[in-house]
Structure 1
Amino acid sequence: MKTLIKKMIIMVLLIGQYTLSNAQVAGKIDKLNMGKVEPYQMEVTYNKTSHLIFPAAIRYVDLGSDFLIAGKSEDAENVLRIKATVRDFEEETNFSVITEDGRFYNFNVLYNTYPSTLNYDLLTMQKIENRENGNDVLFEELGRNSPSLAGILLETIYNKDKRIIKHIASKSYGIQLLLKGIYIHNGKYYFHTELRNRSNVPFQIDFISFKIVDKKIAKRTVIQEKPLTPLRIYKPLDEIAGNSTEKNVFLLDQFTISDDKMLMIEFYEKNGGRHQTLQIENIDLVNARLIKDIHLKIN
């Protein structure tokens, strides 16, 4: 009798522990579902290629199985082409995409010989579904700054268009380059520039460079130059038409320089000689205007 009672007690304890364990697992799953990234549903076929147009350039693509093949379209960094590698696959598969603005997308995919849609505009879909404020992926080069926040700051500085620096500029042959402001936020610099073309001849940009050089330019060598690469640029800038003005904002890592060096920002004209150069000293860098917080309060 005592043995039977002991067995019953052990059984009750085991059942209780199993129930508690299942409840804990279910609770964790429920919490995980709160952060669930809802997938888009799409169909692919073997004989035709589907295209997805993303709001920003594609940085990463991962395919869930060998049933799919995908790649970025040539000369279109934000367009992904995808199709089936085998006919009539029966199992659902998936793929994921991360774009340069830090957004993560995932798709569940089924095979259909005659899919109703082949081309998708993700920006339009997001607006319809109110998914504009989606998940953010952090990139190593941006540190604590999310790509979407960096994008907002670039856009805000561009649109506010304040000239807080009045002493850094260059001018020749009807072309004038201004440094309108230097801003700092979470260990990143934002350089606000403006290029004015007061001539009738378009100014075609060959390339733009940021580099640290010795102040004694005559003795400068290649070894003494330290090039800097912008992490983000607000917009591509290829040409400034005659009698027009173009602004831009460049995002760079935080740095300082010694008193015997300076930062040079150079805009080179393609097949021309109207190059423009800005010279920035350390005092200008350390006096960068502070962006206080994500509410975009600029001192």
Structure 2
Amino acid sequence: MKKSIILFVMAIMVLTVYAQSSDVEVTADEIQEAMLPKPSFGDYFEGYTKKITYDRMIPPYGLEVTFEKTVHIIFPSEISYVDLGSSNILARKATGSENVIRVKAAVRGFETETNMAVITCDGSFYTFNIKYVDEPQKLNVEMRDFMHDGEAVNRPNNALEIYLKELGNESPKLVNLINHSIYKNNKRHVKHIGSKRFGIQYLLKGVYTHNGLLYLHTQVKNDSNVPFDIDFIRMKIVDKKVAKRTAIQETVIYPIRAYNYLTMVRGNKTERSVFVIDKITIPDGKQMVIELFEKNGGRHQQFIVENSDLTRARVINELKVK
């Protein structure tokens, strides 16, 4: 408001001086016209800002939607964020899936083009320009970059290093590369933690740390002929001496990432997973228990992790991640 008053006064002064020097009468309409905003030519703040060049632009994908049919988009990672440009379109995760989104028109025959943005848990960003057509040519779209071979030096087109809240200061891309490296190298640095019952062996093969996160490399070996269907895996901090089990006496730890998460281990097979959790230390008198539960069965497994096992975690040098 103050800035507008100053501009108004300055305009009057300039016009007054001009009128006195040229003997021309200045009308109120001319003063009002002088106060009108001038058209923009694309230079914000009179050229004091830098223009966004085309090499900074993220090219959108073209997507067609309709009212009578649903378009499904399959992403290579779990979807964490979706934003729609207008209410003319609808989008939500497919039921029972975390990496598939379904999109359709909310209004029949809308004319104005709109857009959609998607962020996935691996730190990738996707953007789409969406228009209405009666018959979309592509009803099922896979967003995997088939030209990307997984190496850090050959990055996919959608790799933009978007950081996610649950990973703190760590890049989702780097977390995935570390998980892949641990899984691929398959080293057993921890040799004293595990359990074996009913022909099932459950091991902790290694504990690693990087940038405030812990990586737990586990293995399930099924020496029986009966498949082992995994119901769930639970991690918790409990008292070493528990007189009575109560909710107060245990703290559940929720992994923030799981690499090669298992649902079944077939007979006479071995499978491995890598779990990522926030960095923790275990207080005196407590211990960490990791439990593996069989679905509709009784071959449950569990092993105990001490604080000394976590403090001896191997530090990951990201320059050597493969």
Match of residue 70 from structure 1: 91
- Cα deviation digits, residues 47-74 of structure 1 (max 9, x gap): 2221111111222211101111112111
Q: Normalized against structure 1, the TM-score is what?
A: 0.86
Contact kept, 8 Å, 1:149 with 1:294, in 2: the verdict is: no
* From 152, 157, 162, the counterpart of 1:137: 162
Q: Indicate the SS of the match to 1:86.
A: coil
1:65-104, aligned counterparts within 5 Å?
A: 65-104=86-125
Query: Which whole-Å CA distance do the structure 2 matches of 1:125 and 1:161 have between them?
Result: 26
Query: Which whole-Å CA distance do the structure 1 matches of 2:136 and 2:238 have between them?
Result: 58
* Larger Rg over CA atoms: 2
Query: Which whole-Å CA distance do the structure 1 matches of 2:71 and 2:101 have between them?
Result: 8
What is the letter of the counterpart of residue 115 of structure 1? P
1:122-201, aligned counterparts within 5 Å?
A: 122-124=143-145, 131-132=156-157, 134-201=159-226
* From 264, 267, 285, the counterpart of 1:242: 267
Change beyond 3 A, Cα 1:220–1:45? closer
Structure 1 stretch displaced more, 288-297 or 65-74:
288-297
- Cα deviation digits, residues 228-284 of structure 1 (max 9, x gap): 000011023111111111100000000101231111011012232221111111111
TM-aligned CA deviation for residue 22 of structure 1 = 4.3
What is the letter of the counterpart of residue 90 of structure 1? E
Contact kept, 8 Å, 2:123 with 2:159, in 1: the verdict is: no
What is the letter of the counterpart of residue 82 of structure 1? V
Query: Which whole-Å CA distance do the structure 2 matches of 1:150 and 1:267 have between them?
Result: 24
Query: Which whole-Å CA distance do the structure 1 matches of 2:311 and 2:148 have between them?
Result: 41
RMSD between aligned alpha carbons?
2.4
Query: Which whole-Å CA distance do the structure 2 matches of 1:41 and 1:92 have between them?
Result: 10
TM-aligned CA deviation for residue 21 of structure 1 = 5.4
Unaligned stretches of 5+ residues in structure 2: 1-16, 22-40, 150-154
TM-aligned CA deviation for residue 127 of structure 1 = 5.1
1:1-299, aligned counterparts within 5 Å?
A: 22-25=46-49, 27-30=50-53, 33-124=54-145, 131-132=156-157, 134-296=159-321
Query: Which whole-Å CA distance do the structure 2 matches of 1:186 and 1:209 have between them?
Result: 24
Contact kept, 8 Å, 1:175 with 1:197, in 2: the verdict is: yes
Query: Which whole-Å CA distance do the structure 2 matches of 1:163 and 1:263 have between them?
Result: 20
Q: Indicate the SS of the match to 1:159.
A: helix
Query: Which whole-Å CA distance do the structure 2 matches of 1:142 and 1:103 have between them?
Result: 14
Query: Which whole-Å CA distance do the structure 2 matches of 1:88 and 1:42 have between them?
Result: 15
Q: Indicate the SS of the match to 2:192.
A: coil
Structure 1 stretch displaced more, 63-72 or 80-89:
80-89
Contact kept, 8 Å, 1:203 with 1:269, in 2: the verdict is: yes
TM-aligned CA deviation for residue 221 of structure 1 = 3.4
Change beyond 3 A, Cα 1:220–1:118? closer
Change beyond 3 A, Cα 1:132–1:218? farther
**How high is the sequence identity, in percent, across the aligned residues?**
48
TM-aligned CA deviation for residue 218 of structure 1 = 4.5
Q: Indicate the SS of the match to 2:235.
A: strand
Change beyond 3 A, Cα 1:217–1:246? farther
Query: Which whole-Å CA distance do the structure 2 matches of 1:233 and 1:264 have between them?
Result: 17
Contact kept, 8 Å, 1:64 with 1:94, in 2: the verdict is: yes
